[in-house]
Structure formats: structure tokens, C-alpha cells
């Protein structure tokens, strides 16, 4: 499993992480098998959020730790907070209470990484800075980052927050290429030239923030891999994947990992076989031309 630093932190992470949004649907025994299978594959980075399953995903993950406490030191756990029903909330009270709830459900004393899940329009960055300082002093959180933030929002936080923001989790896949479209279509009148994220891809590379790609096999809310509604994408994934011994799913992950931004793909499967399949993409590096062949097959036209 290929590893890299998480942003400017000292954490060495695998370039494929296990997203645990649906773990709350498993039994403790099933969840334990999923986690241990991931560890056997050297995928020791687990992504959660307080809203996943209304907290049930974290509760089930916590049961895995309860069943085998020493396993905690073998894993890197990331969770996200800041989303409430019908709003976003970066207030001191909500963030601190949310983190305490996360730790309680996970049955752990600390998080390796905490992300602010989605931007709060009413954010007071000086308050966020107070929260981060308190969480760091208490040992409850070791590293901090954001999710679904653009560069201006990140810069606003950085004016007050002293801790490095090590990661930004953004949607990215063969079927959701917005982070690269605007750059490719600079100075055109094409809709794909519209900058919807403030140039977050290049910004992240300049600032050494790791981009974590969520929904890596989805186009919008629909899975495109092995889906008859996406014949062109699957045909090219099969053709190129055949050269590397990868399935269409693994090839879709390899496409993300080929980008020189050194992204981390968050794969959200609870199926042992599928995770093993994804893991095969970790050290595969497709060619420059193959990357563009897949990009065009997704319906993206070059200017």
C-alpha cells in the first residue's frame, strides 16, 4: 500500500482510506471483519462523521474498538463535525459538544484528524481557533482540516487558526471532474470553464493540503462503475484496466491516484472482496495518455 504524508502533518497515511458512512448497518462482528480486513490490506485510515447514520456509524466503529482495545493504536481515525439538521454550525458550544460525542461513540480518547464538514455561512474564525486550541491542548484532536471548503474559506480560517489545516475532503471522480475542468477550460466560454471551487486543486498543491476524494465511483449520486448508463466510461476503464489487471472499480481509483496532487481516495465499501479489489489500485500509475483517455470518455471535451 503506497503511503504519503497527510498535508503538513507527521502522519503517514495510505493513499486509499476506508469510508465508514454505512458501518452502522453492520453487526459488531461484521464491522470487526471489515476493519481487520482493511488493516490486513494496510488500509489503516478510517473516515467517519458524526452525522453518518445519525451517529450509528461511529457507534459501531466504537464497538470494534471495545471488542479489541489494542486495535486503536493500529489505526488512524478521522471524523467530521459541523453539520446540524437544516443548518451548519461552527459555534464553540456545538463543535466542542460534537467532538465529545464523537469520542464517546468511538470509544477513544482522541481523534487523529478532525475535519469541519461543510462551511458554516455564519462562521467566526476566531471562535474556530479557540475550539482548535482547546481540542489540541486537551489531547482530544491531533490534526485538523476541512471538508468541502474553497481556498478563500480556508484562508479566512488560516488567518486565525494556528494549527496547520492538513486536508480538504472534496467530491472527485471520473464522473465528477469539476476540480480539473475549470483549469483545462481556462479562457473559454464553455460551462466547464466555470470555476466553482476557487481553484481548490491548485491551491491545495501550493499549500500542501491533502485532497481526499469522496464518492470516487459516483457521478452525481449514481454509481457509474459497471452501470449500463455509462457505457463509454466503463468501456475505457475495462480496456485500460486490463493492461494493469484491475477491475473497472479499481481502475476508477487508479485514475484519481494518478493525479500529481497525490490525493487520497475515500472508498466507502463494507464488502471485504471489494475493498481488496480497490487496494490493488494503490501502487498503479497509469500513463499521461491513459488518464486523458478516461477523462474524455466521461464526456469531457478538450478545448
Q: How many C-beta neighbours within 10 Å does residue 8 have? A: 14
- For residue 249, the model assigns a pLDDT of 98
Per-residue pLDDT at 89: 98
Question: Quick one: 3-230+262-272 is in which CATH superfamily?
Answer: NADP-dependent oxidoreductase domain (3.20.20.100)
Is the pTM here over 0.95, yes or no?
Answer: yes
Taking the C-alpha atoms of residue 227 and residue 234, their distance in angstroms, rounded to an integer, is 8
- pLDDT attached to residue 220: 86
257 Cβ neighbours under 8 A, 6+ residues apart: 2, 15, 16, 263, 265, 281, 282, 284, 285
Cα gap 113→149, rounded to integer Å = 16
pLDDT by residue for the chain (303 residues), tens digit each? 999 999 999 999 999 999 999 999 999 999 999 999 999 999 999 999 999 999 999 999 999 999 999 999 999 999 999 999 999 999 999 999 999 999 999 999 999 999 999 999 999 999 999 999 999 999 999 999 999 999 999 999 999 999 999 999 999 999 999 999 999 999 999 999 999 999 999 999 999 999 999 999 999 889 999 999 999 999 999 999 999 999 999 999 999 999 999 999 999 999 999 999 999 999 999 999 999 999 999 999 999
Per-residue pLDDT at 105: 98
Amino acid at each position: 500500500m503506497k503511503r504519503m504524508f497527510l498535508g503538513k502533518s507527521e502522519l503517514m497515511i495510505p493513499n486509499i482510506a476506508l469510508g465508514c458512512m454505512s458501518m452502522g448497518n453492520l453487526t459488531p462482528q461484521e464491522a470487526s471483519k471489515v476493519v481487520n480486513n482493511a488493516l490486513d490490506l494496510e488500509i489503516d485510515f478510517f473516515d467517519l462523521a458524526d452525522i453518518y447514520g445519525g451517529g450509528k456509524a461511529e457507534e459501531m466503529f466504537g464497538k470494534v474498538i471495545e471488542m479489541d482495545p489494542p486495535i486503536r493504536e493500529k489505526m488512524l481515525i478521522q471524523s467530521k463535525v459541523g453539520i446540524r439538521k437544516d443548518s451548519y454550525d461552527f459555534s464553540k458550544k456545538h463543535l466542542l459538544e460534537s467532538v465529545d460525542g464523537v469520542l464517546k461513540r468511538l470509544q477513544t480518547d482522541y481523534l487523529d484528524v478532525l475535519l469541519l464538514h461543510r462551511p458554516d455561512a455564519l462562521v467566526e474564525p476566531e471562535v474556530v481557533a479557540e475550539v482548535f486550541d482547546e481540542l489540541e491542548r486537551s489531547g482530544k484532536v491531533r490534526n485538523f482540516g476541512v471538508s468541502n471548503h474553497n481556498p478563500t474559506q480556508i484562508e479566512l480560517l488560516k488567518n486565525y487558526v494556528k494549527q496547520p489545516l492538513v486536508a480538504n475532503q472534496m467530491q472527485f471522480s471520473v464522473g465528477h471532474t469539476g476540480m480539473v475542468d475549470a483549469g483545462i477550460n481556462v479562457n473559454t466560454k464553455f460551462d466547464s470553464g466555470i470555476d466553482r471551487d476557487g481553484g481548490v486543486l491548485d491551491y491545495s498543491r501550493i499549500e500542501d493540503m491533502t485532497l481526499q476524494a469522496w464518492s470516487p465511483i459516483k457521478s452525481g449520486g449514481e454509481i457509474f462503475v459497471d452501470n449500463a448508463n455509462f457505457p463509454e466510461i466503463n468501456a475505457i476503464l475495462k480496456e485500460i484496466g486490463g493492461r494493469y489487471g484491475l477491475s473497472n472499480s479499481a481502475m476508477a481509483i487508479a485514475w484519481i491516484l494518478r493525479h500529481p496532487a497525490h490525493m487520497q481516495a475515500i472508498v466507502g465499501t463494507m464488502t471485504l472482496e471489494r475493498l481488496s479489489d480497490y487496494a490493488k489500485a494503490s501502487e498503479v500509475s497509469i500513463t499521461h495518455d491513459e488518464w486523458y483517455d478516461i477523462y474524455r470518455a466521461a464526456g469531457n471535451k478538450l478545448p
